[in-house]
Amino acid sequence: MTNGSVSIAIFNYLNNGMNWTRSWYGGNDRTSLKSNEYVDQYNFYAVAGYDLGDGHHFLNINGSHTENISDIDQMSNVGIPGKFIFDLSEININECFENNGGCHQMCINTRKSYRCDCYNGYKMNSTTNKCDDINECLSDNGGCDHNCQNKAGSFACSCRYGYTLNGDKKTCKDIDECLTGTHRCNHSCLNTDGSYNCSCQSGFDLAPDLRTCFDVLECLDENGGCAQKCKDLPGSYQCDCNSGYELAEDRHACLNVDECQDNNGGCSQLCVDSIGSYNCRCNIGYELDDDNAHTCIDINECELNNGGCSHRCRNTEGSYECSCPEGLQLLHNRRTCREFDHCGRVFPYLSQQ
């Protein structure tokens, strides 16, 4: 009931609850509630209790029960102790219940009023009364170390390549690719701030991709500095010499080998050294074996033109001898035989040759 300024509701406590009639709201809507509870779109601040006689102050009695009251008006309870009434003069309408109070985002009910507010990451536009997104990245980069990306009602920090986001979601720390094994270096890896550098072992060069190492072909550059032969090896090279030479202490120059100093070069008689080689030779009366260029064999001079002897030829080791038959004598040339007279003259009388 109401007189325009003060509203009185009649109620019964039933089984520790309350049967509530709001004929001015819907006629048949009934809700079980307790004092000071929120019902639909209203907040009720008044409580049940004894009327103290002035029509404004009521003494709350927890757990009170009343008998059914079917016919009562506002004034009938004023000043009559023991009658229970409910004063709705302090009713608060929750404007947020209907259409969110017309608010764009949040509607906050207050006593006898309400206010609109925005979610975190938004701010109220005083002109449009709507919530505009706050671009946190415009203020100190949102507190991000590197990249700040604005989002609706929020923002997100991210890091440049080579960094990872810390637990605070704002600061960035370097990724040690060399330690984690995420680098792509062939040989050596050196971590740097936000990145890493590759390097190669001696004898290798870094490819244009700055990751791959390829072998340096030293022999293509002035024969690697070798005097004679150069052989490329993985990551290195090696000098070598032709037969008859040996590497000098600098491992690049080649020195002649005097093969005759070692077991006479394998020659049976004479060894003659030459630059880069040597030759075996024989004493007079010997010749090199056709099948073995190191061995000297005796020459049988008698087999060739009888050794130059006029009569007899006898081969000896390394030489030969001419001799004459009886009655003849060998001339001074040790080859020719002639007859001599009793005076020791060659007969016929010829000069001795």
Task: Give the model confidence (pLDDT) of 276-314 as tens digits.
Answer: 999 999 999 999 999 999 999 999 999 999 999 999 999
Residue 204's DSSP bridge partners are 215
Residue 63's identity, in one-letter code, is: G
- C-beta separation of 73 from 67 below 8 A: no
For residue 2, the 8-state DSSP code is B
pLDDT 10s digits, 99-134 = 999 999 999 998 788 999 999 999 999 999 999 999
Per-residue pLDDT tens digits for 258-276: 999 999 999 999 999 999 9
**Residue 203 predicted with pLDDT over 80:** yes
Cis peptide before 325 (omega within 30 of 0): no
For residue 110, the model assigns a pLDDT of 87
Max Cα separation, the chain? 207
Decide: residue 56, CB within 10 A, 0-12 exposed, 13-18 middle, 19+ buried: exposed
Between CA 185 and CA 188 the distance in angstroms is 6
What pLDDT is stored for residue 348 in this prediction? 55
CA 173 to chain centroid = 16
3-state secondary structure of 78: coil
Continuous segment of H or E residues that includes residue 180: helix 177-180
pTM equals 0.47
Taking the C-alpha atoms of residue 84 and residue 76, their distance in angstroms, rounded to an integer, is: 11
Convert the pLDDT of each residue in 56-70 to its tens digit: 444 444 444 333 333
Average model confidence (pLDDT) across the chain: 78
What is the reported pLDDT for 76? Answer: 41
Residue 134 · residue 123 · CB < 8 Å: yes
